Amino acid sequence: MANEALQAALGERYDALSTSLRDRVVQFVLDAFDSLTSYRDRDATAFIEQVLPIVLAAQQRMGQITDAYLSAMIADELGVAAPAVGVQLGEALRGTPPEEVYHRPFVTAYTALSQGKSYAEAVSEGRTRLLSITETDMQLARTHAARQSMQRGGAQFYRRDLKSSKSCALCVIASTQRYRVADLMPIHPGCHCKPVPIPGNRDPGHVLDEDLLREAHAAIAKGVGASDAGGRAPDYRKIIITREHGEYGPLLAVARHDFTGPRDLPGS
């Protein structure tokens, strides 16, 4: 039987550590971008040389604290000792060289300039893309580490834990479901959810929180004009879906939205 007080404390500690780590690396990367006096190719090269070692080290640290958190959670659930033994995270979690990924904000800025946008607008668009890239990379480190840690600990299923009441609709609906540990947690840019192992090996069923799912349907009904008190129409699986992104892996998406697949990537 899991100790709820201990698990809550473990979750709070992990949230504090992971949020602090993410915020610090994001601020470092953005400060480095803002400090540039121009955004030409040579500036991009210098920027990447400065920030990439820090980002990669932060991803490894995210993997370590995620492993420690989940190992402690699983140990408490099973009533056994399960020390963290580490996870293996490659530098290219996206399957794309990180040097290429962190050059993209500059490409975004160049593109904006070519479209006739002002210098300030172009730099702002590049900065926004950089923010999304950095946050997503930190979340990818979390999800890749979580899968390794939970598989090693023998967990079969997990759920998504929302970071705050401000979580987006994609994450709210996804949090009502159970996922299999063998599957990487679906994310989206800006996603801050954390995986929580579900005690035992018995499948708890696809939907874990009928009440929350029903509330989500009520909100969806405002946009699509249909609802169902039973929480099944409109079918959320036709609105909020998981697609395979060429770099992120499983990606939470709205069914009508386009997405990048492996064939859309350079060199594919």
> Quick check: 232 pLDDT over 60?
no
Phi and psi, residue 93, nearest 5°: -65, -25
Domain ranges of the chain: 1-154, 156-268
pLDDT of residue 36: 97
User: Would you place residue 240 in the very low, low, confident or very high pLDDT band (cuts 50, 70, 90)?
Assistant: low
- Alpha-helix runs per DSSP H in 79-94: none
Q: Say what the pLDDT of residue 19 is.
A: 92
Q: What angle do CA 118, 135, 123 make, to 5 degrees?
A: 10
pLDDT at 22 over 70: yes
**CB neighbour list of residue 223: distance below 8 Å, 6 or more residues apart:** none
Average pLDDT over residues 207-224: 66
**Backbone φ, ψ for residue 193 (5° rounding):** -65, 150
**What confidence tens digit (pLDDT) does each residue in 42-63 have?**
999 999 999 999 999 999 999 9
Length of the chain: 268
Q: What is the mean pLDDT of the chain?
A: 80
The residue with greater pLDDT, 84 or 137, is 137
Which secondary structure element, helix H or strand E, spans residue 121, and what is its range? helix 119-153
pLDDT band at 262 (very low <50, low <70, confident <90, very high): very low
The pLDDT tens digits for 83-110 are: 667 788 888 888 889 999 999 999 999 9
What is the reported pLDDT for 267? 37
Q: Who wins on pLDDT, 254 or 145?
A: 145
pLDDT at 227 over 50: no
**pTM for the structure as a whole:** 0.76
What is the C-alpha separation between 54 and 91, in angstroms, rounded? 12
Note the pLDDT of residue 205: 77
SS3 state of residue 3: coil
Q: Please report the pLDDT score of residue 259 as a whole number.
A: 39
Comparing CA positions, the residue from 22, 235, 238, 26 lying closest to residue 139 is 22
